[in-house]
Structure 1
């Protein structure tokens, strides 16, 4: 009798089963404390500017209204809702707004991640996956639209995998998630693509008598999901927009996040792969065929493009959790904790986090990294009243945010492969003739380039271009026919 009573008391303890909550709270605190890390990408600035434009005009963009090189060309923003959200919180709380919003979405992502894994795995195993996922995703966790879509991605894929684990079809209640994802970020295409292998896995493992009906239910869900993804201001064009990214060809490897994995030095990806391989060999772990296909597909994506590390880190454990639970230990089966104490705990933690956020934001200044913010240089540039400025790629977001039409910015799909590659070859002097051609072809009046760039050094030595401003971040050269360089002998 005593042992039975003790067991019931432990199972009813409201503090049990709260690992997702503690993970979410911890992740939120870490990212708020390191808030400026979230603002190191200059693209955040033009994302907010576009969001404010949408709010002011009550419509989404259909053409480019920012650059002078592509003005009027067709351009849609498949991440318009995330841009509006960032613009709204920025107008309310300055840079604290995007930091808090991004941190909250990252925390929600990891809380959901922990919840899905803890259904199958022990808490210790779950925490190992959480630590690995954090290590792999931190470099790409920035205040950009994809971060706001991460909890939606987690809920969507988690729902699909849970259905496959039950040998069942997903609930149609998941469909609003696809519509939300399609309005937050173009990555929703991955959510659609994953339905096929997950559905095959579910049908493959089902009883032979139910396979036909189960396949039909998955097919109906897939059709409904495709329709739900088109419920955007752009309709089915949001679905087709991903083609422009994939068509960038040679431009993709030139963008940091699209580069393949680099194993020249030991990093988180290599450590995780080696540990995972070692565990599989030591424990003799086996996986169902379709789960192996999903694992290898995600691994290929991560090795091909560093930006896919987040999908490898956050989605692959969902595919592996149920099979691994049978081989490395399943989660403890506890009774559901009492609701009232949990609600009090949630309310208390919410108050503490809110108070802590306000207090920390009152003493710490959040602001974008100076690497992509040529503040003083742009202030000097605006005094010159010039309209055709050849700029460094990373400065484009800051120029848009400050009302200066850029030559190029982070909307690479707008500019296309050739334009981007030509600009990169010109600014880096891989092809010096590209620099002179672009300066003449677009009637460039001034250049705003990184002070350390090869193009800046070359313009210091070219007649007809006068340096009018320079600091540690950016240098301005103005076209001036009578200007003669003074840093070396005349170039004949």
Structure 2
């Protein structure tokens, strides 16, 4: 005898709005919603003014320019002659083309706009995801903020990884959104995930993180079936397990829709084992006395507190998500960027359950009642929201091409460590030999240096250079 587990739906039924008032009520916003919008406005302003980091961003822009000029993907690194003959898998070719199109004309200003818009979209999707789990705007906002703060050290750098984070947020939304009664009867979600991974695999190699999310989602369902029914093979008769399995299959098939086919999947899986990466800081194991170690420790403490007080049953999927992504961060510190959103995805339902049992003190409850009239939804709060969005737009650099105004100087758009003076000197005195410089200078010079410049190393060529060449460069 087998037991079929119902879909994991933990959200209360939606509010019912009278038919005659539905259209008007849709435009009525509350004070709490205005505050959330204000927070996201500040979030966008901060990232729009954030200088473009002196990183591999410029190497990716240079790759994109090369692809557009030649009409094909490079077979080997076009900027590092010491890596000649080593096959190149352009795992982020679509992101590179987007960067090149946005940054054409040697104008990096638009790259800053793109960066801010992508991050804004990412965390808006995460906010919506956590809201579907909790049905509490304040809690979902705090969950989104926590996911950002845990991985904040990764958000100062603009790179194709940002597109990967947006795809991860969309995947988490699909996972939460698909937990509904018609999930097993609809092929919409497997097809949607296949399309998502088809785009993701061409934007950034982090699509394998999506495989980890879906793999835990599928395996967790099978484990829950086995634990609740007492039969290891109980999942065989569970329709939702097979629909989750279909989502994973479509995701794998979709990721194969790239110029390299299934070879891209194999290359991406093997990439972290390259010996040259052992010398790169972001590929180090986690150290507790670091910018990543402190927020990770805080997240572990918060996880312990939440799980200690939650009365909601913890699903096997949530356990697997926490185990897999914690282990990933401990092995490779750069995985903290993907840990934050998934960590909060596992904890958000438990936080909602705890808050549902919290009784406010009498003083706080009385003040809440007094403020209820002020904060109730109305059109005036909607007008305030529109004003906030408009003020954010006119204050942000993104408005200047449309509304006019002085264009920011290069030293305002670019990080102070960007070698602008070196670039001017090299344009005036083009070198004839191989240029030895930090690899992040090599990225910039490959894009903005003299046409015939030859650099010894770029960030994107670290895994392509022979180990001896890389060691010679380091010494």
The verdict on a shared fold, with TM-score over 0.5 as the criterion, is: yes
Query: Equivalents in 2 of 1:342, 1:83: separation in Å?
Result: 41
CA drift of 1:216 comes to 3.2
Q: What's the CA shift string for 1:310-330, capped at 9, x where partnerless?
A: 111112212333344334439
CA drift of 1:32 comes to 0.9
CA drift of 1:11 comes to 6.6
CA drift of 1:345 comes to 9.2
Within 5 Å, which residues of 2 pair with 1:61-460? 61-91=74-104, 94-121=107-134, 122-141=136-155, 142-163=157-178, 168=183, 170-205=189-224, 211-249=237-275, 251-264=276-289, 267-281=294-308, 287-329=314-356, 353-357=392-396, 358=398, 362=406, 364-365=408-409, 366-373=412-419, 375-376=421-422, 379-380=425-426, 383=429, 385-401=431-447, 402=449, 403=451, 404-411=453-460, 412-415=462-465, 417-424=467-474, 426=475
User: TM-score if structure 1 supplies the norm length?
Assistant: 0.72
Q: Which has the larger radius of gyration?
A: 1
Higher RCO (CA 8 Å, separation ≥ 6 residues): 2
Query: Equivalents in 2 of 1:202, 1:229: separation in Å?
Result: 23
Structure 1 residues 113-122 or 411-420, which shifts more? 411-420
Structure 1 residues 215-224 or 162-171, which shifts more? 162-171
CA drift of 1:416 comes to 5.0
Residue 63 of structure 1: SS of its match in structure 2?
Answer: coil
CA drift of 1:222 comes to 2.5
Q: Do the aligned partners of residues 341 and 91 (structure 1) sit closer, same or farther apart at CA in structure 2, a change above 3 Å counting?
A: farther
CA drift of 1:344 comes to 9.3
Query: Equivalents in 2 of 1:74, 1:106: separation in Å?
Result: 32
Q: For residue 45 of structure 2, what is the aligned residue in structure 1? A: 29
Count residues in correspondence: 410
Residue 473 of structure 2: SS of its match in structure 1?
Answer: helix
CA drift of 1:74 comes to 1.4
Query: Equivalents in 1 of 2:104, 2:427: separation in Å?
Result: 26
CA drift of 1:353 comes to 4.8
Structure 1 residues 226-235 or 378-387, which shifts more? 378-387
Residue 436 of structure 2: SS of its match in structure 1?
Answer: strand
Q: Do the aligned partners of residues 209 and 318 (structure 1) sit closer, same or farther apart at CA in structure 2, a change above 3 Å counting?
A: closer
Query: Equivalents in 2 of 1:188, 1:323: separation in Å?
Result: 27
User: TM-score if structure 2 supplies the norm length?
Assistant: 0.75
Residue 241 of structure 1: SS of its match in structure 2?
Answer: helix
Query: Equivalents in 2 of 1:341, 1:145: separation in Å?
Result: 40
CA drift of 1:31 comes to 0.7
CA drift of 1:188 comes to 0.6
CA drift of 1:244 comes to 4.6
Query: Equivalents in 1 of 2:324, 2:438: separation in Å?
Result: 35
Q: What's the CA shift string for 1:27-52, capped at 9, x where partnerless?
A: 2222113x20xx22321111111111
CA contact (8 A) 1:164 1:201 kept: no
Query: Equivalents in 2 of 1:419, 1:413: separation in Å?
Result: 11
Q: Do the aligned partners of residues 66 and 102 (structure 1) sit closer, same or farther apart at CA in structure 2, a change above 3 Å counting?
A: same
Structure 1: tracts of 5 or more residues without a match: 331-336, 427-492
Structure 2: tracts of 5 or more residues without a match: 1-16, 358-375
CA contact (8 A) 1:285 1:324 kept: no
CA drift of 1:152 comes to 1.6
Q: What's the CA shift string for 1:324-348, capped at 9, x where partnerless?
A: 4334439xxxxxx99x999999987
CA drift of 1:380 comes to 4.3
CA contact (8 A) 2:92 2:202 kept: yes
